[in-house]
Amino acid sequence: MDILLCDIPMSAEAKFGRFRHLGSASPPYNILLLGTILTRRGHNVRLTTEDQSLEEVAGLAREFNPQVIGATFMTMGYPRLKAFTQTMKRAAPKALLIAGGYHASIYPEAVLATHPLLTAVFKGESEISLPQFLDVTKGGAFAPSDLREVPGIAFRTEAGAIETTLPAPLIDDLDTLPFPDYDLIPDFFERFRPAVTRHYFRTPQAYFLTGRGCPYSCHFCGRLILGRKIRQNSPDYTVALIEHARKRHHIRSMLFADEFFTVNKKTMRALTALLHKHDLHTIDWSCNGRVNVMDEDYARMLSQAGCRQIGFGIESGSQKILDLLNKNDTVEAQAKALQAAVAGGIEAYGSFIIGSPGETRETLEETHRFVLDAPLAYISTCFFTPLPGSYYWNPEAYAPYGTLIDDNLENYNTFSGIPFLPHGLGRDDLLAFQRRLYRDFYLRPSRFLAEFRHIANPTSWRYAIRIAQGLVLAG
């Protein structure tokens, strides 16, 4: 069967607003993996990425004329679903249209009800349910009641009612999944280059997700759909995945985008040993880190295995705000973890949230102090956004702390939209703080000197120019 899987088009302007010159498109790991699985089952799959325009995707749909077109999107992409389904229906009238991904998984019935052109909406992990859906629908010759056999979907019955099937099972053993076939996106490594905060990483850079699930409950995060249990690929699988990417794509750096890559020290000890054994420690990599497991010895072990940068979700330099975000960390522990990472030879990158519930001028100053005092190499900020599925999506939860000023989900991108204002602070206060934080952090002489470490890499200079231009253009 011919299948087109699309990451809903999203221009850099829509996603990053005034930081459009600095932001990069995100690889659609989810449909890349689904596409790989379907290809292995004999289907003919094409993929499109968020940086392609709707016209470009429509052109491909017209030419390819697939039997099924699937869309993935997060909350900020949801308002574009209507135009997407209408355009695809015109381009490939016979195609069944389906949707999945984070936002669709939280509201499958509502998404289906408001998008009459959709045949089904998938809820949660779909590596098992999507192939079943294709088997049942056979490209068009099926009765709606047949869809009851497919787990984890919302669909319309013959009578037009919306029905939901039992949840699809989570993949228990992630090692059963195939390696993502990057060739499904022909220019993958050109399209998805290292972000500005990792500008010195050599290309091609591989992008991996080797774990799923989260046991925490940060109040700003909608981590519902992948479950509470952390599931990780085994070290053997991860090493085979890297070997494959090295042989096939000659990768020279790697990004592990999993939330909890470093959380299990035993797994990491085994993995780093294998990286040395297979001579893969020569490939630079970056990952996300949890504060509670970081100490200097651990950082040194990771650094010796090729880890150059760890990203920490710090969120705030104020304990009051960390508590209101249910972050389960202390400011002190955050600072210690950053110091340990740096002492062990790894660069620390911190991401921060501005304008959280409870934020005041004082808490912003605490964050400012933290950022300037901590041994951070790069920072990024986003504005607090009450995302669907998160604790603060509920008005009763945020009302004591602030006001929702924008309900256009297109602005729920966390980078440029400011949908929520804490009591006592205005939009201009938050924007002015962000500007001051970036300026005071990035324009310090010590930051410039730090960049000289990367002088041998010409891509660094291109990026440095891009960062400077981007910050000037962002105002």
Of the ranges 184-192, 194-202, 215-223, 234-242, which one interacts with ligand SF4 (CB under 6 A)? 215-223
In 17-135, the DSSP E strands lie at: 44-48, 68-72, 96-100, 118-122
Dist CA 397 CA 271 (whole Å)? 41
Nearer to ligand SF4, 46 or 219 (CB): 219
Which residue has the CB atom at the shortest distance from ligand B12?
100
CA dihedral 334, 335, 341, 342 (to 10 degrees): 160
Please, are residues 10 and 52 in contact by the beta-carbon 8 Å criterion?
Answer: no
What is the CA 102 to chain-centroid distance, rounded?
Answer: 10
Spatial neighbors of 110 by CB under 8 A, at least 6 apart, are none
Residues that bind ligand B12 (CB under 6 A): 5, 26, 29-31, 33-34, 50, 70-72, 74-75, 98-103, 105, 122, 125-127, 130, 209, 212, 214, 221-223, 225-226, 257, 259, 382, 387-390, 413-415
Contact string 307-336 vs ligand SF4 (x = CB under 6 A): ------x-----------------------
Angle at 336 between CA 333 and CA 340, to 5 degrees: 135
Nearest distance from C-beta of residue 351 to ligand SF4, angstroms: 10
Nearer to ligand SF4, 96 or 221 (CB): 221
CA dihedral 24, 25, 26, 31 (to 10 degrees): -170
Nearest distance from C-beta of residue 453 to ligand B12, angstroms: 25
Structure tokens at 359: 């934020």
Among 64, 142, 179, 216, interactor with ligand SF4 by CB under 6 A: 216
Nearer to ligand B12, 178 or 424 (CB): 178
Spatial neighbors of 5 by CB under 8 A, at least 6 apart, are 28, 31, 34, 35, 45, 46, 47, 48, 69, 70, 71, 72
What, of ligand SF4, ligand B12, none, does residue 387 touch, CB below 5 to 8 Å by kind?
A: ligand B12
Mapped onto helix, strand or coil, the DSSP state of residue 71 is strand
Among 31, 92, 221, 353, interactor with ligand SF4 by CB under 6 A: 221
DSSP β-bridge partners for residue 206: 254
Nearest distance from C-beta of residue 205 to ligand SF4, angstroms: 22
Q: Does 259 bind ligand SF4 (CB under 6 A)?
A: yes
Nearest distance from C-beta of residue 458 to ligand SF4, angstroms: 35
Q: Does 441 bind ligand SF4 (CB under 6 A)?
A: no
Indicate the helix (H) or strand (E) that contains 212: strand 211-212
Residue by residue, DSSP assigns 326-369 as T----HHHHHHHHHHHHHTT-EEEEEEEES-TT--HHHHHHHHH
Nearest distance from C-beta of residue 103 to ligand SF4, angstroms: 16
Q: Does 74 bind ligand SF4 (CB under 6 A)?
A: no
Nearest distance from C-beta of residue 344 to ligand SF4, angstroms: 22
Q: Does 227 bind ligand SF4 (CB under 6 A)?
A: no
Nearest distance from C-beta of residue 379 to ligand B12, angstroms: 15
